Amino acid sequence: MALENSIRLLAGLMILISLMLYYLHSPYWLLLTAFVGLNLAQSSITGLCPAETILKRLFFGKKAAA
């Protein structure tokens, strides 16, 4: 899976998990949803994505260096 697709998958899963936790546990989990949304907006404006850095180091380090 490509890095860009992995980032989209991670963001989508984080939003779905936070919505599930909101429904089952506490409305404060919507703060995680808001954080993911703000991070996506910030990333589109600045081009800096913390998730990209983390995923590159963990899973794509050898492929990115080549």
pLDDT by residue, tens only, the chain of 66 residues? 788 898 999 999 999 999 999 999 999 999 999 999 999 999 999 999 998 888 888 888 765 544
CA 11 – CA 2 distance, rounded (Å): 14
The pTM score is 0.79
Helix and strand numbers, DSSP H then E, in the chain: 4, 0
55 contacts 3 by C-beta, under 8 angstroms: yes
